[in-house]
């Protein structure tokens, strides 16, 4: 068995490589869309959805109205809203159906994924490529020692935290004041 620090270093090195290979212009475009939207919806499945829930929560702390597709208090999506789809392959059935539906209501759709040549492209207005290994095993993917698509889910979470810090710095938000948005029924 590998030593803890060696394995931790392998994982953080993968994350550094991945985050360094995301196009900063695409990230900036996504940030503009997030800030411009009345409401921001998120859709994904499995561990991707868990990462997206954390991103939605972080953005909610910054005053963004965020919703997870399917949550009990989800409002209607409109042409003033943004749907963020997390799907490495861009072929996951449920996110595809939701993206198609969002376009029927003229919402903006942003896809964060690893595969630019995917079915999701038909419904996406913006694509942010996270160039990691997917189940498709494409040639330009960053390989990972981790199981399955862990690197994608981790990168998605850190991309969300990066967007949040970009927003904080751009808007000169006072970080201690953010506690007013934190859950207090705990």
Residues labelled catalytic: 153
What is d(CA 17, CA 28) in angstroms, rounded to the nearest whole number?
19
Residues sharing a CB contact under 8 Å with residue 116, sequence separation 6 or more, in sequence order: 90, 127, 129
Backbone angles phi, psi at 171, to 5 degrees: -95, 0
Backbone angles phi, psi at 118, to 5 degrees: -130, 170
Could you tell me if 67 and 110 are in contact, meaning their C-beta atoms sit under 8 angstroms apart? no
Look up residue 59 and give its two tokens. 């953005």
Could you tell me if 113 and 89 are in contact, meaning their C-beta atoms sit under 8 angstroms apart? yes
Helix/strand/coil percentages in the chain, nearest 5: 50, 15, 40
């Amino acid at each position: 068995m590998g030593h803890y620090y060696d394995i931790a270093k392998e994982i953080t090195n993968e994350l550094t490589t991945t985050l360094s290979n995301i196009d900063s212009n695409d990230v900036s475009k996504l940030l503009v869309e997030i800030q411009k939207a009345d409401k921001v919806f998120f859709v994904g499945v499995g561990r991707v959805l868990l990462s997206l829930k954390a991103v939605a929560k972080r953005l909610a702390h910054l005053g963004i109205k965020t919703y997870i597709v399917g949550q009990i208090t989800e409002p209607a999506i409109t042409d003033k809203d943004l749907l963020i789809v997390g799907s490495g392959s861009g072929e996951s059935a449920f996110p595809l159906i939701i993206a198609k539906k969002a376009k029927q209501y003229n919402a903006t759709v942003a896809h964060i994924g690893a595969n630019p040549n995917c079915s999701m492209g038909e419904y996406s207005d913006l694509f942010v490529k996270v160039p990691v290994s997917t189940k498709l095993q494409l040639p330009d993917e960053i390989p990972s020692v981790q199981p399955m698509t862990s690197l994608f889910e981790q990168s998605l979470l850190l991309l969300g935290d990066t967007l949040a810090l970009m927003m904080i710095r751009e808007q000169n938000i006072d970080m201690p004041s953010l506690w007013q948005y934190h859950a207090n029924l705990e």
